[in-house]
Amino acid sequence: MFKSVNSLAHNKRSVYNFPMKDLVSICFESEFLALVAAKFAQKNALNISTLDEASSDFILYYKEDITELIDRQANTAIHVDFISGSLAHRRKYGGGQGQAIAKAIGIKKYRLPLSVLDVTAGLAKDAFVLACLGCSVKMIERNPIVAELVNTALKLAENNDNFEDIKQQGFSLLQTDAVDYLKKLDTKSNSHYPDIIYLDPMYPQRKKSASVRKNMQILQKLLSHKENTQPDETELFNLALKFARKRVVVKRPKTAPTLTDKIPSMSIQSKITRYDVYVLT
């Protein structure tokens, strides 16, 4: 069974530009998950194997309750969970409209519901915080592995009562390149443009920085693979300025330079983060 799925995967062109065949393997916990795992492997030209046989640096592991990304070298794993764990804790005790991110998007200035397009969704932490503040959020994530972690979490949350309000507001993910997505907005009327475009581009890892949490360290490792680097942040930023109706917000480490030479209208700081805000209306 493993063999036939593998050969199918090799014959199909990946929809993602960066080949990840040697970097990530797909594994599943039980036969019940074989089909979904095989479909994903085939779509993204990845190898499917047993946990024991996998020799890649990372494993996307389909389990009964979650899908996790295992970093074999670091012997650790990450997953996304909108219902329990740190995101649920942040929802309860995160500080609401007083948070720096809330001020950055102008939650008090504009009327809710604000529509936010998060063009660098990653593990959806910021997107979820924005959804918890009452925004309707559309996430764009280019990397299919990262997108799959978020997608699984969305599916698991779907029927949970605690997620109902967020679902009603709109909280969705599209796996594509945000540059392409934004360029396509050009053909649509501006009623399709989001109020806020939010960008959190990857920032080069500082060695052994305690402030870079486990999730982000693994994400950085996955995405810093040489085939995965594509410096398109300036283009993304310029497109965001063109298509956001009210603001573009760029998240940066506190002491990092601005993303481009363009001076922000204002910057809002939290302990380790700075939000550069470009006010458009």
Q: Which residues bind ligand SAM (CB under 6 A)?
A: 119-120, 122-126, 140-143, 146, 177-179, 200, 202, 219, 223, 232, 236
For residue 148, the minimal CB distance to ligand SAM (Å) is 12
For residue 35, the minimal CB distance to ligand SAM (Å) is 26
Longest dimension (CA), the chain: 57
| Calpha distance 130→143 (Å, rounded) | 21
Question: Are 41 and 82 a contacting pair, CB within 8 Å?
Answer: no
| Calpha distance 151→144 (Å, rounded) | 10
For residue 138, the minimal CB distance to ligand SAM (Å) is 12
Nearer to ligand SAM, 5 or 197 (CB): 197
Nearer to ligand SAM, 45 or 129 (CB): 129
Residues 6+ apart with CB under 8 A from 264: 250, 258, 276, 277, 278
For residue 182, the minimal CB distance to ligand SAM (Å) is 9
Nearer to ligand SAM, 148 or 177 (CB): 177
Phi, psi (deg, nearest 5) at residue 275 = -110, 115
Nearer to ligand SAM, 118 or 195 (CB): 118
For residue 7, the minimal CB distance to ligand SAM (Å) is 28
Question: Are 268 and 253 a contacting pair, CB within 8 Å?
Answer: no
Residue of minimal Cβ distance to ligand SAM: 122
Nearer to ligand SAM, 116 or 119 (CB): 119
